[in-house]
Amino acid sequence: MANLIKVAVDCMGGDDDATFVIPGLDKTLRNNNDLSFLLFGDESIIEKRLSNYKYLANSSEIIHTEYHIKMDDKPSHAIKNGKRVSGMWKAIESVRDNRADFVISAGNTGALMAMATLILKTISKIQRPAIAALWPTVDGETIVLDIGATIGFDRRQLIDFSILGASMAQTIFDVESPTLSLLNIGEEEIKGLDEIKAAHEILKNGNNFFKYKGFVEGNKIGFGYSDVIVTDGFSGNIALKTAEGTAAQISQYLKETLNGSMLSKIGYLLARQSFQTLRDKMNPNTLNGGVFLGLNGIVIKSHGKTDHVGFSSALDLGIDMHKSALIDKIVNNIELTEREL
């Protein structure tokens, strides 16, 4: 098949022995018959898990690896011991060598980023890669980056992240000129660290391919204030984990309230569809998947504690990024922005 999309899969990365990977692949394959998979990991384990998925097995090739990166391995340790022999390393290499169109893993985030950066390298003029994620809002989604790749930043990196995030927004939201904001402690121009204010001035005065809206505070992310919210990895990861925890907290409150009395249970039955919609909206698996932006290849990071539905969702994201030629779009936008800033 001429347009077959080839996906490299780290089958051993993830919590609970990554048992969700194979059924997640199968779920997506059922809706996309133009896929094939390179499955990296322990051959005996993968074959056993594939035994119940004949359709998937016929669309897959297993590449046996004996070394697997653990979820708690330090990136330096993972590279030292897993370089060229681990499934994660070999899966990324397959993208570099054009044997796969993108790679997906639910494994160790730090190791995946370190290996991907070493193997794929950053796109020309991009200093450091970022992890971007889709964030649910009241009327859709917004893209937030960086959510964990960087600690510390300068104005140039915030500009880079703006280009990367806006390029992804063009592909995801199908808008020519997405809106973008910098996450800050206030919306006033006098607030924030010097590097954030410096990036703000550059973006405000530049003739960008996106619409820059200025600063935004964290409490507006969930209201869809902008298509793209840009921050550093330290602040972005804290914001993400806080949002996930708040969603879990609200779900627990609802569960306890609805089980509190017979009247509450009757109310739940009457409004069951509305509660189901709310539950789906707050389910992190529906928007699972972070994209490593700024590399010469597409790398998708699934949450390590997801289920097969979440892993399928992350895989779908990778497919969209590939079909929309994300890397080419980023390269073109870098050149455009470098000329006009």
Task: Print pLDDT tens along the chain (341 aa).
Answer: 458 999 999 999 988 889 999 999 999 999 988 999 999 999 999 999 999 999 999 999 999 998 999 999 999 999 998 888 999 999 999 999 999 999 999 999 999 999 999 999 999 889 999 999 988 888 888 999 988 888 878 899 999 999 999 999 999 898 999 999 999 998 888 888 889 999 999 999 888 899 999 999 988 888 889 999 999 888 877 877 777 676 667 667 666 666 766 666 666 565 556 555 555 555 556 667 899 999 999 999 999 889 999 999 999 999 999 999 999 999 999 988 754 55
Q: How far apart (Å, rounded) are the C-alpha atoms in residues 67 and 84?
A: 10
What SS3 state is found at 325? coil
Is the previous residue joined to 146 through a cis bond, with omega within 30 degrees of 0?
Answer: yes
Residue-range domains of the chain with CATH:
1-120 (3.40.718.10), 123-295+325-341 (3.40.718.10)
Q: Say which amino acid occupies 215.
A: F
Strand, helix or coil for residue 63: strand
The pair of structure tokens assigned to 336 is 């455009």
Burial class, 154, CB count within 10 angstroms (exposed 0-12 / middle 13-18 / buried 19+): middle
Q: What is the pTM of this model?
A: 0.87
Nearest of 211, 215, 210 to residue 198 by alpha carbon: 215
3-state DSSP: the chain helix, strand, coil percent, rounded to 5? 50, 20, 30
